[in-house]
Amino acid sequence: MKNSNEVPWPYLAGLVDGEGSIQIYKHRETYEYRLKIGNTDLRLMQWLISNVGGKYYTETNRNPSKHKTLHQWRTTGINNTKKVLEEIVPFLVLKQEQAKILLEYFKAESTKDREVLYLKLIPLNKRGIKV
């Protein structure tokens, strides 16, 4: 990651709000987290890695005649993910609550505490119209 003062955190927050996701998911009997941004432009993935770190994956495109290839950038490591979240939280509009829950997750001391946070995040990440 570049020097923290050099990263345009408001821009990154906008990317997370618009094209990103903040997740806690259950994997067997444990809980894991993910902060990611999806986009079809490889230049964005390269920018993210050079400015914030992390890594990206390219998803297999099942119908290239209709869809561009999708790239998924993810943070790597708890410390990097915490740093990114702490910096972007003040600028998030749509996903601020999810970011705060994930920051709580990093402080959770038990599987039961993680379960509560996981269940709290599920309705916030549901697709469709919010009622």
pLDDT confidence of residue 129: 60
- Considering just the CA atoms, what is the radius of gyration of the chain in Å? 15
118 falls within a domain: yes
> C-alpha distances in angstroms, 68 versus 31, 44, 59, 64?
32, 14, 10, 6
Q: What is the C-alpha to C-alpha distance for residues 85 and 91, in angstroms, rounded to an integer?
A: 10
Residue 109 lies in a domain: yes
- The two tokens of residue 30 are 């444990």
Query: DSSP string covering 15-68, please?
Result: HHHHHEEEEEEEETTEEEEEEEEEES-HHHHHHHHHHH--EEEE---S-TTT-P
**pLDDT < 70 regions, the chain:** 1-2, 4, 128-131
pLDDT at position 92 is 97
The DSSP 8-state label assigned to residue 8 in this structure reads -
CATH number reported for the structural domain that contains residue 27 in this entry = 3.10.28.10
State pTM to two decimals: 0.89
The count of structural domains within the chain is 1
Instruction: Please report whether residue 130 resides in a domain.
Output: no
Structural domain for 14, as ranges = 4-125
Q: How far apart are the C-alpha atoms of 7 and 26, rounded to whole Å?
A: 31
Residue 27 maps to a domain: yes
What pLDDT is recorded for position 128? 67
Q: Are 88 and 70 in contact (CB under 8 A)?
A: no
CA 90 and chain centroid, separation: 15
